[in-house]
Amino acid sequence: MSDTKTPLTKPLFTLFCFVLALTNMTVAQAQEAPSDKPKNPPITVLAYQLQAESIAQNVNLIGTLQAVQSIEVRATVTDSITALPFVEGQSISKGAVIVKLNAEEEQAELKQAQIISAEAKRQYLRAQKLIGRGNITEATLDELKAAWHSAEAQQTILQARINDRTIRAPFAGRLGFKAVHEGALVSNNSLITTLDNTEQMYLDVQIPDPYLQQLQLGQNIQFSVAEQNFSGAITVINPRINPESRLLQMRALVNNPDALLKSGMQVQVQLNLGEQRQLLLPETAVLMQGEKNFVYVVQDSQAQTPSFAVRKQPITIGKRYFGQVQVTAGLQAGDVVVSQGILRLKPKSQIKIKAYQDKQPLEDLLRGKPLEIPNKTQVN
């Protein structure tokens, strides 16, 4: 039986080897043959090289003005007004009379006290001459002296009461409206008018606590009112932060020579916190996905090649400026990122850099000669 199968087995084995060799040769030729499917061409983009820049730190805040000296003029006793010798809105000097109250009764009592005091003094001096003759005792002399001094003290009390009925300006300033008029009966603590010294003004401003480390006494603060510019210097920084609002109060002193500034006025304030070195990049370079921000970083940007690969890099951004954002984490100075064309990219995309973007307008950059960045090779 074995002799009959042997002639058939050899031809089958030979046929199998031929088919296997033909298959291997076909696969090899297919691998060596050029593909008809073209590769994706590199995407043309604009790039930007990050550099640290000195940025002026100006913070816009709301401030409230108030006079350096400001009081409400109130009566200290109960009586009727006999005179209000001022005009509403008038400027007065220190010591000028603002209001007079009826003091006729106190003046009459003062005259009586003066007579009593003079008589007590006379009796004391007469007794002093008699002390050496033995007609008066030392105790009687002491009683007469005490009566004299008591009468003088009564004069001082009555004179103080009369002075309380004449209210004078404690400082130079401008008077407000009359709250009462002549003949009116005022009681203790009744409002008569107001007095403000507005030659200088306090500007109170509240600022978020992150700026605390950048604040210092003497720092300049600016604002404008009716197209007139004002500036002042910080004189006081509150040592306490409001625990609810997390705001810190500070105060600046501002000159007000033309009396344009008024108490209670609110103004838009610009506070100069100096300069700070920051990494900035165009807003168009940032890809926002949810709450995260990314950029496409050009890899091997120094290489002399017609195209480059990119990688997707997460970043943290800080302040926003006109057309630019601050990068606080994820990049460093000298990195090159794609600034225009990011929506067409994906990780490991190949790009061709048309130009390096700077602060020039985008239209000029696309139409004119692109700006060359130092130590960078521009690929045309």
Of 117-126, 130-139, 306-315, the range with the lowest mean pLDDT is 130-139
Average pLDDT estimate for 361-368: 58
Whole-number pLDDT of residue 167: 93
pLDDT band at 30 (very low <50, low <70, confident <90, very high): very low
What are the pLDDT digits (tens) for 36-68? 445 678 888 889 998 888 887 788 899 999 999
Read off the tokens for 226: 């009716």
- What's the rounded Cα separation, in Å, for the pair 216 and 223? 18
The percent of residues in the chain predicted with pLDDT above 90, rounded, is 40
The per-residue pLDDT of the chain, averaged, comes to: 83
What are the pLDDT digits (tens) for 167-188? 999 999 999 999 999 999 998 8
Contact 325, 281 (CB under 8 A): yes
Sheet holding 79-83, edge to edge: 166-168, 97-101, 79-83, 185-186
How does DSSP classify residue 220? E
Does pLDDT of 2 surpass 60?
A: no
> Which long-range contacts link 156-159 to residues 24+ away (Cβ below 8 Å)?
158/106, 158/109, 158/110, 158/113, 159/110
- What's the rounded Cα separation, in Å, for the pair 292 and 378? 31
pLDDT band at 25 (very low <50, low <70, confident <90, very high): low
Q: Which one is predicted more confidently, 171 or 272?
A: 171
Helix (H) or strand (E) holding 128: helix 104-130
**How many whole angstroms from its chain centre is CA 183?**
50
